C-alpha cells in the first residue's frame, strides 16, 4: 500500500520562553529543597506567552489540517497521490503565515523583554540572564515540509526485515485510519447525542465535510473501507432527511426517534464495531463472470452433406388448404 501513497513529515519548532528555577536563582543554599527528581520550583516565564501564542496556533492548525486529509502513522502523515499537491499547497500557505509571524516576533522581542523587566524589577536580573538569544531563536523557529516515498524494494536481500517496520500496527494505514474514524465518531457522539440528547444538521457537518472524504480517498487503496464510507454516507443522508420531515419548528431528531440513529452511529464508535461492520459487509465481485456458452448441438445425419458433395433434399411443404386465395407453395 505504501507504494501508492506519500508520507509527509512537517516538524514545527518553537521555543518555550521559560527557565526552570533553581535554588541558586532564589539565593537558597544547595540542598535546601528536595532533589529535582522529586520536586521542582517551577518555571520563570521569560517571554510572554501571548507573544508565542500565534506560532503555537499555526502549529495546531497544521496538525488539524493533516489529520483531516491523511492518516497519522509512526513514519509521518500518509496522504494519497490524488491529495498530495493540494495538501502541499495548503501547508505552504500555513508555512508562509508562520514565517510572517516569526519575522514580526523577532522584531518585537527586544522591546517586549525590556517591557517585562520594567514590569517586574525585582526579577530583572533573572529575566535578563535567561532571556533567549536572538540568534538561537532565529535558528530554532522553523516550519519544514518533508515528503517521502516509502516502499520495500523487491530485490533487497533484507526485504522481510525492512517490511516489518511498515507492517507494525502503528504504521498500518488501514488500522490507523479505522482508529481515527472511531475517535472522530466518538467525539461527534459526545458533542451531540451524549451532550444534548438530539441530532442536528450541524452535527453532520464534520462527518460529511472532513471524515467522509478522507475515508473515500483511502478506500481506493483498501476496498474494505468502502463498507465504512457507505454506512457513514447513508447515515448522514438519513439524518438530514429525517430532520427535514420533522414538523415545522423542529430542527432535530430526539426522543424515541433518536434510538435507531444512535444504534447506527454506534457501529462506527469503536475499532471492534468498525471491524465487525467490514466483516459483515457483502463481498462484491467487480469482475463480471461471463455466462457459460451452450454446448454445440451435433448435426443430424440427414443434414450432414454426403461425401459426393450433393446437398440434402429440401423437405417438401404441404399446400395450404385454408384459403383459396392463399399463395401456392413454391418449391425449388
pLDDT at 328: 45
pLDDT at 166: 86
Answer with the one of 140, 166, 192 that is the final residue of a domain: 166
pLDDT at 21: 86
Instruction: Say yes or no: 14 and 107 in one domain.
Output: yes
CB–CB of 51/112 below 8 Å?
yes
pLDDT at 240: 94
pLDDT at 316: 54
CB–CB of 211/232 below 8 Å?
yes
Residue 266 inside a domain? The answer is yes
**Distance of CA 276 to CAs 227, 267, 268, 271, 273, Å?**
11, 8, 10, 9, 5
Residue 297 inside a domain? The answer is no
**SS3 readout for the chain:** CHHHEEEEECCEECCCCEEECCCHHHCCCCCCCCCCCCCCCCEEECCCHHHHHHHHHHHHHHHHHHHHHCEEECCEEEEEHHHHHHHHHHHHHHHHHHHHHHHHHHHHHHHHHHHHHHHCHHHHHHHHHHCCCHHHHHHHCEECCEEECCCCCCCCCCHHHHHHHHHCHHHCHHHHHHHHHHHHHHHHHHHHHHHHCEEEHHHHHHHHHHHHHHHHHHCCCCHHHHHHHHHHHHHHHHHHHHHHCCCCCCCEEECCHHHHHHHHHHCCCCHHHHHHHHHHCCCCCCCCCCCCCCCCCCCCCCCCCCCCCCCCCCCCCCCCCCCCCCCCCCCC
Which region holds residue 257: left if phi is over 0, alpha if psi is between -120 and 50, else beta?
alpha
Residue 313 inside a domain? The answer is no
Instruction: Say yes or no: 148 and 182 in one domain.
Output: no
pLDDT at 332: 32
Answer with the one of 234, 265, 280 that is the final residue of a domain: 280
pLDDT at 29: 83
Instruction: Say yes or no: 96 and 241 in one domain.
Output: no
Distance (Å, rounded) from C-alpha 216 to C-alpha 225?
A: 8
| Tens digits of residue pLDDT in 198-232 | 999 999 999 999 999 999 999 999 999 999 999 99
Q: What is the extent of the structural domain holding 87?
A: 2-166
pLDDT at 309: 52
pTM above 0.85, yes or no: no
Q: Is 303 exposed, middle or buried (0-12, 13-18, 19+ CB in 10 A)?
A: exposed
pLDDT at 322: 45
Q: Count up the domains in the chain and report the number.
A: 2
Distance (Å, rounded) from C-alpha 174 to C-alpha 125?
A: 55
Instruction: Say yes or no: 76 and 221 in one domain.
Output: no
pLDDT at 298: 57
Instruction: Say yes or no: 150 and 223 in one domain.
Output: no
Could you say which residues of the chain have pLDDT below 70? 249, 284-332
Cell numbers given for 257: 426517534
Residues near 248 by beta carbon (within 8 Å), at least 6 away in sequence: none
Instruction: Say yes or no: 127 and 191 in one domain.
Output: no
Instruction: Say yes or no: 105 and 17 in one domain.
Output: yes
Instruction: Say yes or no: 112 and 213 in one domain.
Output: no
Residue 307 inside a domain? The answer is no
Amino acid at each position: 500500500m505504501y507504494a501508492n501513497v506519500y508520507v509527509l513529515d512537517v516538524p514545527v519548532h518553537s521555543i518555550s520562553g521559560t527557565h526552570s528555577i533553581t535554588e541558586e536563582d532564589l539565593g537558597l543554599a544547595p540542598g535546601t529543597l528536595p532533589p529535582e527528581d522529586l520536586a521542582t520550583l517551577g518555571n520563570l516565564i521569560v517571554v510572554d506567552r501571548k507573544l508565542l501564542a500565534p506560532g503555537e496556533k499555526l502549529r495546531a492548525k497544521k496538525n488539524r489540517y493533516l489529520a483531516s486529509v491523511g492518516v497519522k502513522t509512526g513514519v509521518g502523515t500518509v496522504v494519497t497521490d490524488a491529495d498530495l499537491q493540494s495538501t502541499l499547497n495548503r501547508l505552504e500557505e500555513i508555512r508562509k503565515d508562520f514565517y510572517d509571524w516569526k519575522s514580526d516576533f523577532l522584531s518585537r522581542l527586544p522591546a517586549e523583554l525590556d517591557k517585562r523587566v520594567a514590569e517586574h524589577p525585582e526579577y530583572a536580573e533573572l529575566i535578563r540572564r535567561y532571556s533567549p538569544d536572538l540568534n538561537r531563536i532565529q535558528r530554532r523557529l522553523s516550519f519544514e515540509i518533508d515528503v517521502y516515498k516509502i516502499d520495500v524494494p523487491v530485490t533487497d536481500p533484507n526485504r522481510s526485515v525492512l517490511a516489518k517496520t511498515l507492517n507494525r500496527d502503528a504504521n498500518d494505514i488501514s488500522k490507523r485510519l479505522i482508529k481515527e474514524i472511531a475517535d472522530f465518531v466518538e467525539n461527534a457522539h459526545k458533542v451531540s447525542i451524549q451532550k444534548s440528547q438530539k441530532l442536528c444538521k450541524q452535527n453532520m457537518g464534520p462527518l460529511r465535510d472532513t471524515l467522509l472524504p478522507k475515508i473515500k480517498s483511502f478506500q481506493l487503496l483498501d476496498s474494505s473501507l468502502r463498507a465504512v464510507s457507505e454506512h457513514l454516507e447513508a447515515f448522514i443522508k438519513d439524518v438530514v432527511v429525517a430532520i427535514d420531515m420533522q414538523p415545522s419548528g423542529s430542527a432535530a431528531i430526539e426522543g424515541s426517534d433518536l434510538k435507531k440513529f444512535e444504534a447506527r452511529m454506534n457501529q462506527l464508535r469503536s475499532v471492534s464495531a468498525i471491524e465487525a461492520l467490514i466483516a459483515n459487509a457483502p463481498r462484491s465481485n467487480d469482475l463480471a463472470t461471463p455466462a457459460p456458452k451452450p454446448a454445440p448441438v451435433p448435426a443430424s445425419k440427414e443434414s450432414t452433406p454426403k461425401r459426393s458433395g450433393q446437398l440434402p433434399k429440401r423437405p417438401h411443404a404441404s399446400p395450404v388448404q385454408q384459403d383459396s386465395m392463399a399463395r401456392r407453395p413454391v418449391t425449388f
